[in-house]
Chains A and B, each alone.
Chain A
């Protein structure tokens, strides 16, 4: 398979972007602290969340199973976060291989959500030292247009908040897992919602761009990633790249990020509430925004094509002869052979010596 290389950014592009920044303009016309449009959507299943931030798209899915707890934390559940980068997102991503970006993203998300104790892990315990719930969040990158981390962290939180695990009851020694139909599913307890907010730094940290695009990320000297919850508490701070930044600037970014974080958390909560209301009314329409999106028209035409797609009749549809006859012969010592019956018709044919030779050579 051909290996794709990451798109290189030419010097002209770099200069152009930096020159524009000096004039206080961004290529997509946003202000420096303006974010791209965000939409959050839920699927039919619990814990399936689709987030798009501009053209960056991420799909998160939570799944759970019962496991033995870790020996270091006997009364706590397990939460594992798994970022998946496949060629669908960007052609240079390789599937099934741990790239540096994937490891970094995984770790930052873990620091942000797991290490800040956002999810109540003790409530996931079924029986101490024996059975706990293990949650696994798979984050799939569907399109990479810059600022993957913000998008992924929103998807992660929304999916976790949307997910419900099946109810469990203990009957003496036995643990019974009730299906969703049997008993109401249980929500995950989330203490606070920490979201990642990325800033791209230019010109030794003097120019700060919120929500950088892919091109801006490539040109930037460094990136500042802040994990902040709605109570203005910093959960993670990650400064990657090569730029010096004075503390004053960092504090300024932090207060801006805190404002953004509280907006995001409100957004997540509203969308969750809307989804709940829809489910109560019995309409479980997955991926609402897809239906209202610009793609509706093309989808309709596609359905039309599919409706009219009929079985193509082939001209020479000669009936296949049924030659399913065969004989089974035992050979002894646990062996048997199935031989197809030779047709004694005119078609009976033996390869000539010439073809035999070619067969053996090929």
Chain B
């Protein structure tokens, strides 16, 4: 019966659950889904990670290339993010040019990485005006079940932490590059911005919504924090939100961010331990 009721009256179905402070998947309103991180998932990439938030799965591979810098910023490298939402991840997406959601997510994640200052593009410079690193970060969604921005940001940050770049010697006089692949060094990550998405449903705020909940909600809110500081808020339209509720969401994100950062660090140290054993 529940199935038929849900397809006939989806809003009523959710309202009945939420009035009891519970969600159809058994979570409380303010409960997060389990998060799994795996790093070094792609052996051929220079840095990679896979993240699952509930059923949402995204994978990120970072490829480094050498290129000349822009004349405007001769001592800065590049970080080019691209989020792909292929038809594989959800029936909502069609093959062809990137959907609006994919473009919005790409832009949001790219802006956030640059504005939060978590990496310094000057670190990617090898020889000023001549040679810099260009990092291509391709984020591909394998399964879309809500909170795509959270997953993309988490996977990108984790992948950036695993990037190992070889040491390059450049002789400008004869334009010769010598790449020493035996010595690899990490990229400096200065801070870790992490985000949490909330969905507004009538007078309730649902933490970490699934696709179904996102679709039925009257608006979404993404809060990004770094080092216990607010970094960005993304609220694309929807119903208005009271100030207190916003503060609650921010506090909740700050608390959850600690856990996520511990999670990333645990995964990274696990990987390092393994490498030592080998």
User: What residues make up the interface of A, taking CB atoms closer than 8 Å to B?
Assistant: 65-68, 130-131, 173-175, 177, 311-317, 320-324, 326, 328, 330-340, 343, 347, 349-351, 354-355, 357-359, 361-362
Q: Is B242 an interface residue (CB 8 A)?
A: yes
List the A side residues contacting B252 at CB < 8 Å: 320, 322, 324
Q: Is B236 an interface residue (CB 8 A)?
A: no
Q: Is B205 an interface residue (CB 8 A)?
A: yes
A336→B28 contact, CB < 8 A: no
Report the separation of the CA atoms of residues A347 and B23 in the bound assembly, to the nearest whole angstrom: 11
Report the separation of the CA atoms of residues A316 and B36 in the bound assembly, to the nearest whole angstrom: 35
Q: Is B38 an interface residue (CB 8 A)?
A: yes
B2→A355 contact, CB < 8 A: yes
B28→A347 contact, CB < 8 A: yes
Q: Is B256 an interface residue (CB 8 A)?
A: yes
Q: Considering only CB atoms and an 8 Å cut-off, how many residues of chain B contact the other chain?
A: 51
A347→B21 contact, CB < 8 A: yes
Q: Is B262 an interface residue (CB 8 A)?
A: yes
Report the separation of the CA atoms of residues A292 and B22 in the bound assembly, to the nearest whole angstrom: 55
List the A side residues contacting B205 at CB < 8 Å: 320
At the interface with chain A, which of B113-121, B179-187, B223-231, B263-271? B263-271
| Known A313-B242, A336-B266: A130·B259 in contact at CB below 8 Å | no
A350→B26 contact, CB < 8 A: yes
Contact residues of B between 228 and 264, Cβ < 8 Å to A:
240, 242-244, 248, 252, 255-256, 259-260, 262-264
Distance between A227 CB and nearest chain B CB, rounded to angstroms? 32
* Chain B 115-134: CB-based contact to A (< 8 A → 1; otherwise 0): 00000000000000100000
B263→A334 contact, CB < 8 A: no
B71→A68 contact, CB < 8 A: yes
B28→A321 contact, CB < 8 A: yes
> Per a CB cutoff under 8 Å, which of A337, A338, A354 touches B1?
A354
What 17 new A-B contacts, CB under 8 Å, besides A324-B256, A333-B270?
A65-B72, A313-B242, A317-B203, A328-B262, A328-B266, A331-B270, A333-B271, A334-B40, A334-B271, A335-B39, A336-B267, A337-B34, A338-B35, A339-B34, A340-B31, A351-B26, A359-B24
Distance between A135 CB and nearest chain B CB, rounded to angstroms? 14
Find the A residue at minimum CB distance from B7.
Answer: A362
Report the separation of the CA atoms of residues A130 and B240 in the bound assembly, to the nearest whole angstrom: 51
Distance between B194 CB and nearest chain A CB, rounded to angstroms? 11
How many residue pairs between the two chains, A and B, have CB atoms under 8 Å in the bound complex? 127
Chosen A-B contacts, 24 in total, with CB atoms closer than 8 Å, are: A65-B72, A66-B71, A67-B71, A177-B72, A311-B243, A314-B242, A326-B32, A326-B256, A328-B259, A330-B266, A331-B36, A331-B270, A335-B36, A335-B270, A336-B36, A336-B264, A336-B266, A336-B267, A336-B270, A338-B35, A338-B260, A338-B262, A339-B34, A358-B3
Report the separation of the CA atoms of residues A343 and B22 in the bound assembly, to the nearest whole angstrom: 12
Find the A residue at minimum CB distance from B40.
Answer: A334
Report the separation of the CA atoms of residues A351 and B259 in the bound assembly, to the nearest whole angstrom: 27
* Chain B 59-85: CB-based contact to A (< 8 A → 1; otherwise 0): 000000000001110100000000000
List the B side residues contacting A316 at CB < 8 Å: 203
B270→A330 contact, CB < 8 A: yes
Report the separation of the CA atoms of residues A358 and B260 in the bound assembly, to the nearest whole angstrom: 31
B28→A354 contact, CB < 8 A: no
List the A side residues contacting B2 at CB < 8 Å: 354-355, 358
B32→A334 contact, CB < 8 A: no
Report the separation of the CA atoms of residues A106 and B35 in the bound assembly, to the nearest whole angstrom: 50
A332→B274 contact, CB < 8 A: yes
B242→A334 contact, CB < 8 A: no
Report the separation of the CA atoms of residues A322 and B256 in the bound assembly, to the nearest whole angstrom: 10
| Known A311-B244, A320-B205: A336·B37 in contact at CB below 8 Å | yes
Find the A residue at minimum CB distance from B36.
Answer: A337
| Known A340-B31, A351-B25: A334·B270 in contact at CB below 8 Å | yes
| Known A347-B21, A355-B2, A358-B6: A320·B259 in contact at CB below 8 Å | no
Distance between A166 CB and nearest chain B CB, rounded to angstroms? 11
Distance between A3 CB and nearest chain B CB, rounded to angstroms? 16
List the A side residues contacting B24 at CB < 8 Å: 351, 355, 359
B256→A335 contact, CB < 8 A: no
Find the A residue at minimum CB distance from B254.
Answer: A324
Report the separation of the CA atoms of residues A333 and B50 in the bound assembly, to the nearest whole angstrom: 13
Report the separation of the CA atoms of residues A338 and B259 in the bound assembly, to the nearest whole angstrom: 8
